[in-house]
Each structure stands twice: as structure tokens, then as C-alpha cells.
Amino acid sequence: MTVTSPAPATMIDVARAAGVSRATVSRVFTSPSTVAEETRTKVMDAVARLNYVPNSAARSLRSGRSSTIALLVGDIAQPFHSQLAKAVAHAAEARGYSVLLCDLDHSITRLERLLDSLPLQGVDGVILATGDNVDTPHVRAAIEDAEDRGTKILLGTPQLAGTGTLVMTTDYESVAYQATKHLLDQGRWPVALLGGSTASVLSPFLKSGYLRACAEAGHSDVILAPTEYSTDAARSATQELLESSQQPEGIVASSVSVALGAMSALADAGLGAPGRIGLVACEEVLLADQLRPRLTTVGTKLDLQGAAMADALIDAIQGTATESQDWAPALILRESSAG
């Protein structure tokens, strides 16, 4: 049976128990190396005995830092974002930081609200990861404001850059170029670009990479099939493509959702098996390897990218510099584009 839970031990309790001053206890936690081995042990013992754990609110208030970053994602329910979140969370944890999860749900209004509201002041840094176009005056102002307050901001897309923000973005032009070239190199033609809406800041890059690859191969009669980034829209668009006069031999899907739509349409048309029509998605997620046919992709390794983002942000916060592994986008060949 539970009894009066003893009020959690504070630093003063530990100091008393260890026969030292509060300052020393504090040092044991903030810069252990400046404390004599012996003293440190005494303190650690007391800490363990009293089950002491430093109060983070007090610590933040005093130090002005919270060891917390906010991760704003376009849609955490999407595999791309959840895998990125995972990597960010792990990297942050490794450096002693916590991650506040904020889901934008593709809404600018939500972003504006979040940016204005509480989180920002209790957070040392922010990662903004969304492909949606969210460049509004309100957002820009909020970001500058946050930076004036000393909050570091890392942008995951080319938009909104300028101020003092850090930017770490994938080269989507190259992604689409690689994807398209891969199909062209197999001798496939026509190859269509599926997906791409004005709501996305990435679409123009994908389009231009696609066009560059086509141009290099000497093809001018390109097929652009813009659609929302939804599976259903992509399915319909693919159906139309298949029924049109220019039967494609290859499809570059802007995202995995879009690729799923294409796969459905292909399956419905009895073209599900790989070989006949090559399919590549411009995004690498775990799911790609769980489908049948397994989906060829061009994309970044999200665990590396997420870690790089977290590290870069934390470096900016701490004024440190960490090496990050290369996470440039690359082709991952699977069944959906098998020769």
C-alpha cells in the first residue's frame, strides 16, 4: 500500500546528504570534470540514495536553455515523416535533447498557430519539415520573431529561407532526374511524371529534373500527369494514362502514395507484374520494400537525413560542429523497375 509519497528530493537534500554545497552538486551534473573524483562519488551516492533527479523547469529557467527541440512535420501519419521523426528523435536523444512533436496536418493555419503559441518559447530550436507551401507573411514574421528570441530554426525545404535560418534540403531535381534517367536507360519510352501539385514546393524541382533527363535523352514529347499527392488521384490519373494514345512504358511517381495509386491502376489493368511498365518513386521509405512488386525508389536514407538535421540544429544551438554522414539521394533498385 502506498503512503505519503515523500516530496521529491531537491538539490539541497543531496548537498546535505553528501556534505557539500549546492553548487558542487550542480557541477556534478553540468561539468563533472571540474569536480574532484572523490567528491563526485560522494555526490553520486547521495543522488542514487535519494533517488534525486534534477528539476528541468528550474534548470531551464536558470540556464535559459531547455534541451528540447520542436519537430514540425507536414503529416506524421505519412511514412516519410514518421521515419524522419524517428531519426530525429534518436539523434536528439543521443545528444541529450527531447523532441516535441507538432503535426501540421498540411494546414498553414495550424503552423501559424503553433509558431505563435507556447512551444516556441520553451524550445531551443525548431525543425520545419513539410513539402507544403507554407510561405506566408505571418509565418515569416513568426520565424523571424522566434529567431530574435534566440530560437534556432532549421528548414527542411527550400522555402522560407533567408533570415538566419539553417537550411538542409534534399535536391529533388536530382531525385527526379535519377529516377527518370534510370527508366530511360532501360530503353523505356514514353516515361511519364505522375503527381505534382501547386500545393507542394517540391513539385517544380521534380518536374525540372524529369525534363532534364528527357531532354538529355533527346525526348521532347514528355508526359506530365500532375495530380494531388493522394493515392486515389494517382490511380485515376494512371488509368487515364493507360487508356490514352501515348501508352507509357515507365512512370516516375512523385511520392510513395502516388506510386501506390499507380500500382493499383497497373494491377487493375493486368500490368501488375514488373517488366512491362517500369515504376520508380521519388521517396525512399521502408514500405517500398514490403510491397509486391517491391518498389524501386530514388531518395535519401531517412535515418541519416533525420540525424543530420537534428545534429545540425543542435550544433547551431550549442555552437558545436558534428560530422554527419552523407545522405544524398540515390537510386534503390527493386522489382518495380526490373529490366
For DNA, the binding residues (CB under 7 A) are 7-8, 10-12, 19-27, 29-30, 34-36, 38-40, 52, 54-55, 58-59, 61-64
Q: Between 94 and 215, whose beta carbon lies closer to its own copies?
A: 94
Least distance CB 266 / its own copies (angstroms): 8
* 145 contact, one of its own copies, DNA, none, CB 5-8 Å limit per kind: its own copies
Q: Read off the C-alpha cell for 257.
A: 502514395
Q: Read off the C-alpha cell for 74.
A: 507536414
Q: 231, 227, 269: which is closest to 247 by C-alpha?
A: 269
Query: How many chain residues are in contact with its own copies, going by CB under 8 A?
Result: 63
Return the residue of 14, 35, 46, 66 that touches its own copies, per CB under 8 A: 66
Q: Between 67 and 174, whose beta carbon lies closer to DNA?
A: 67
Q: Between 56 and 244, whose beta carbon lies closer to DNA?
A: 56
Q: Between 10 and 98, whose beta carbon lies closer to DNA?
A: 10
Q: Binding segment for its own copies among 183-191, 201-209, 274-282, 283-291 (CB under 8 A)?
A: 283-291
Q: Alpha-carbon torsion 11, 16, 17, 18, what sign?
A: positive
Q: Supply the DSSP string of 225-267, one letter for each residue.
A: E---SSHHHHHHHHHHHHHSSS--SEEEESSHHHHHHHHHHHH
Beta carbons of 21 and 15 less than 8 angstroms apart:
yes
SS (HEC) of 29-76: HHCHHHCCHHHHHHHHHHHHHHCCCCCHHHHHHHHCCCCEEEEEECCC
Return the residue of 33, 220, 245, 290 that touches its own copies, per CB under 8 A: 290
Q: 159, 181, 180, 179: which is closest to 168 by C-alpha?
A: 159
Is position 67 an interface residue for its own copies (rule: CB under 8 A)? yes
Return the residue of 128, 279, 287, 307 that touches its own copies, per CB under 8 A: 287
Q: Between 72 and 211, whose beta carbon lies closer to its own copies?
A: 72
Least distance CB 288 / its own copies (angstroms): 11
d(CA 53, CA 44): 11
Q: What separation in angstroms does the CA of 66 have from each of 95, 115, 116?
A: 13, 17, 18
Binding site for its own copies (CB under 8 A): 2, 5-6, 8, 51, 53-58, 60-61, 66-68, 71, 75-79, 81-83, 85-86, 89-90, 93, 96, 98-103, 105, 118-122, 145, 148-150, 164, 231, 257, 260-261, 263-264, 267-268, 272, 286-287, 289-292
